[in-house]
Amino acid sequence: MSRQAKRAAHSSVERRYRENLNIRILELRDGLANASKADSLNLVSASASSSCKKADVLDDVLNYISQSQDEKTAMKNEINFLMMRIKILEDLILKQKNGMKMF
């Protein structure tokens, strides 16, 4: 295979790679825009035109993931707090049924 043929083959492979990567980034941007609508997030990549910067899309994705992780942690903490409250109330009910003073 000649040097030009190798270069052309390599260029073709690289072009397909870039095209596929660009498609995936656009899909990621669109998916993030749909997911964030309910969360009322202001995304740089969602407000831009279809020629937004890839770095903006990746920044938005990282911010969204970080925010989602923070919300998940807050929800877990709230669940644990509510489970503790339920346990306390169940104990109070049992004490009351058994005729014990609550205070």
Rounded CA gap, 59 and 45, in Å? 9
| Local structure of residue 38 (DSSP, 8 states) | T
Domain residues for the domain of 44 are 3-97
Rounded CA gap, 15 and 17, in Å? 5
| Local structure of residue 48 (DSSP, 8 states) | S
Question: Tokens for 56?
Answer: 């903006």
What's the pLDDT score for residue 76?
98
Distance set, CA 5 to CA 9, 14, 51 (Å): 6, 14, 32
What's the pLDDT score for residue 95?
92
- Classify residue 37: in a domain, yes or no: yes
- Classify residue 62: in a domain, yes or no: yes
Number of domains in the chain: 1
- Classify residue 103: in a domain, yes or no: no
- Classify residue 102: in a domain, yes or no: no
- Classify residue 31: in a domain, yes or no: yes
**Is residue 8 within 8 Å of 15, Cβ to Cβ?**
no
Cβ-Cβ contacts under 8 Å for 95 (sequence gap 6 or more): 101, 102
What's the pLDDT score for residue 44?
61
- Classify residue 70: in a domain, yes or no: yes
Residues with pLDDT less than 70, the chain:
38, 40-51, 100-103
What is the chain's mean pLDDT, rounded? 87
- Classify residue 81: in a domain, yes or no: yes
